[in-house]
Structure 1
Amino acid sequence: MARAKRVVLAYSGGVDTSVCIPYLRQEWGVEEVITFAADLGQGDELEPIRRKALDAGASQSIVGDLIEPFIADYAFPAIRANALYEGRYPLSTALARPLIAKRLVEVAREVGADAVAHGCTGKGNDQVRFDVAIASLAPDLKVLTPAREWGMSREETIAYGERYGLPAPVSKASPYSIDLNLLGRSVEAGPLEDPMVPPPEEVFAITASIDQAPDAAETIEIAFEQGNPVAIDGKPLDPVSMLRRANALAGRHGIGRLDMIENRVVGIKSREIYETPGLLLLIQAHQELESLTLAADVLRYKRQVEATWADLVYQGLWFGPLKHALDGFLDRTQEDVNGTVRLKLHKGNAVVVGRGSADSLYTPDMATYGSDDRFDHRAAEGFIYVWGLPLRLWSAVRRAGGR
């Protein structure tokens, strides 16, 4: 029995999503499959992907340019949040999923579809992100997940596609699974599944190796307004141009490579290789500017919020109420995060060497040890007495009790 008549499929052009097209039609009785591919700045030529979907049996093949909203509405909030999942991964892939899901639902509404579909397997994070996001935005739409249910191995999936005219992958030499967008690359599978095997140089594409990075350091300045990066070396840049420029600068100096054991949403660990040069560079600069412009208690509390915010995004809860509430807190903290950060880029490192802001809370005549010092040293004694009073009382009680 058909589960749906008209389905919009999130389409990447890979083996799984291509096989989904004949599978939905032949095995599940779907009458019409419409594909949607998102341009997220991955640099691929999307016209061949569009044609590939049609050749696989799609009735329509839609390509959407989502680069600008991806950076302005998803990446920039992550920079303001200093979002690093498990303290390391800047969510380059995870940030794309709620945007794709949102547009997938919009296309489904536009074409009158009664279901959407994706090609995620049952072991990954993306199935969670897509399913939860779609349920949040359009609970009435069915979500079809053929790759999670068909039970075919990789070889069987390729053979199934060949039965319906889909060519096998041109090369089987590369064992890696790669996801790419303007924020970076993620690489997994193949020999990387052994956590003791060093990642070969061939898995990297947008960052130089330390050996090949320039011998000379390069100093740059990144300007921020209300937490958003707006200029590099005094040149104003729109959000997309900002990421492209940051990627080029950091990537050239070998900055942005990550090799980590990651805890997936579904409860298993995976070994992931990431290249996120520009995003990590901008987060580092933003963190440094916050150290200058945010009050100590706000800064400390924000670190807790940042960790929760990153977890929510990673776990597919972009459209949830807690994420929405935390966004309000983060937006308020960014009102005074204005200024410039100077960094020296060299051989895989971005070292902060300067920072300045009209909203700086750093007061030179309070911090100095020179003759201009305005700090009242005499006040310290009374402060220390009150500050340490609870500890003295606790210690006295313990001593009186013989402890």
Structure 2
Amino acid sequence: MNEEYDVIVLGISLMECILSGIMSVNSKKSASVTPLEDLYKRFKIPGSPPESMGRGRDRSVDLIPKFLMANGQLVRMLLYAEVTHYLDFKVTEGSFVYEDGKIYKVPSTKAEALVSSLVGLFEKCHFRKFLVYAANFDEKDLRTFEGIDPKNTTMREVEDVIDLSGYALALYRTDDNLDQPCCETINRIKFYSESLQRYGKSPYLYPLYGLGELPQGFARLSAIYGGSYMLTKPIGEIIVQNGKVIGVTSEGEIACCRQLICDPSCVKDQVESHPIKNTDDTNSCQIIILQNQYIAIVNTTVETKELEEEIRPALVLLEPIEQKFLSISDLLVPKDLGTESQIFISHTYDATTHFETTYDDIKNIYKRMTESEFDFEEMKRKNNDIYEED
């Protein structure tokens, strides 16, 4: 471990593994310093899982309930870096919305909009017209505006099927977008539709063997380009000299570095101690439910102190429930940009259904580290990989 690196990455979560892979591909010398029974221990459930749940090794429960958007930036990154060589994906069977005690298929095509019982009879044609408008919208082409100024017209003024388009298609978690310029919402609906068109059933992709496959794929990419991984190494101290990071200690050894990437858990004194703005001063709540051979995940941004009551409508749909696990994850952000200390801290995962905000954070950290915009061309395989793959 007593070596010098350009970048040291603390942690092996998805964000850290992607950044480690990017730095290794760009010829930076980097180092990354970790079953069902564990699920019971994590949530402090007494006893062991009942036999009806099967063998622990047969289950892999993701603690961050997210999907990949089929036309999203993370999928694009996987393709450019050829990490897809190590992964298999499954298209989810559909995208649905809960309304008035019932589950409805989200109408995201012209044909579905006309037959969906989620949209009223007199709204169908209007909503179909709006979907066509969103699909053709291009903020660089004035001809697609059709008399609407997307920079100054609010979403509330554009269309009437507000709840459906904002939550189910644009994937907003609140209705704050209604009084904002409609350009962003229309682009998000278009993005949803483009993701849906890739494979037909839904806009979401999921790794066949769970989300843990994603960091493993990028970790392998980093290793191909010379990145080192030090597993089960406890993090001792982050050494800072004259305001800049110079290394990390572990078990009496020192690894020197010019830059450091880590998640908030490694530097708790350097993250904001108050709730993040625009999150209703709340945390992220995730509930994992096991029912026979099914695993269901319900997550939300908590708005009251009654965590379980907030997702009660979803729990009713999942009854009977054999075992329930409740976890609250704080939303943490770094206090500063890290450009002075060269310690770059990631955000914690939010309650969105996808990884697009995670990609935004990766892109932001990359820009702060390199003082240049992220370019997908930087992720393409080069001829200087140190290991020859089959």
Q: Decide which structure has the larger Cα Rg and report it.
A: 1
Greater helix content: 1
Larger RCO (alpha carbons 8 Å, 6+ apart)? 2
Fold match (TM-score > 0.5): no
Please, what TM-score do these two structures have when normalized by structure 2? 0.22
Please, what TM-score do these two structures have when normalized by structure 1? 0.22
